[in-house]
């Protein structure tokens, strides 16, 4: 499986960073999560909760006519490691093709060395976020749905 180039750059950056800097870098990515667009902020029922996360984590994906994926996350600022993972996903996969998102290795975050920086419970939550994100993309492709405008 190939990783989308922007995400691969992030994986490489983390993987080559000293262990003590990985958590700091993850926290930096927590600041890169954009606010929700109004259509989701005003209608939170359009977001899917990821119950496997210890933190209240919600997501929505949109696949446009060109099969480009837009990612939207709602995660509290009080959960910086989980929010950091959302920032990594947004920075690495937002705007990627549906195929690139679906081809993302399910355990890509392990190559980042995050297993040395955060708990296995948080890692499982990260896997669940990626699984649900991919499922939403697959569902939209299968249904031929276009995002609501």
Q: What is the pLDDT of residue 1?
A: 59
Q: Model confidence over 8-40: pLDDT tens digits?
A: 999 999 999 998 899 899 999 999 999 999 999
Question: Smallest Cα–Cα separation from 33: which of 96, 101, 81, 69?
Answer: 81
Q: Model confidence over 56-105: pLDDT tens digits?
A: 999 999 999 999 999 999 999 999 999 999 999 999 999 999 999 999 99
Q: What is the pLDDT of residue 149?
A: 42
Domain at 5-143: CATH architecture = Alpha-Beta Complex (3.90)
Dihedral pair phi/psi, residue 60, rounded to 5°:
-145, 140
Token pair for 100: 């690139």
Token pair for 43: 């209608």
Token pair for 71: 């990612």
């Amino acid at each position: 499986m190939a990783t989308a180039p922007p995400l691969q750059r992030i994986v490489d950056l983390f993987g080559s960073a000293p262990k003590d800097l990985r958590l700091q870098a993850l926290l930096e990515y927590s600041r890169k999560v954009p606010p929700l667009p109004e259509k989701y902020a005003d209608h939170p029922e359009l977001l899917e909760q990821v119950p496997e996360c210890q933190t209240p984590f919600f997501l929505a994906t949109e696949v446009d006519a060109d099969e480009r994926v837009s990612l939207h996350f709602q995660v509290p600022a009080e959960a910086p490691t989980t929010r950091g993972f959302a920032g990594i996903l947004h920075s690495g996969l937002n705007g990627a093709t549906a195929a690139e998102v679906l081809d993302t290795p399910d355990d890509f975050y392990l190559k980042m060395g995050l297993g040395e920086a955060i708990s296995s419970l948080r890692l499982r939550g990260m896997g669940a976020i990626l699984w649900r994100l991919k499922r939403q993309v697959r569902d939209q492709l299968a249904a031929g749905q276009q995002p609501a405008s």
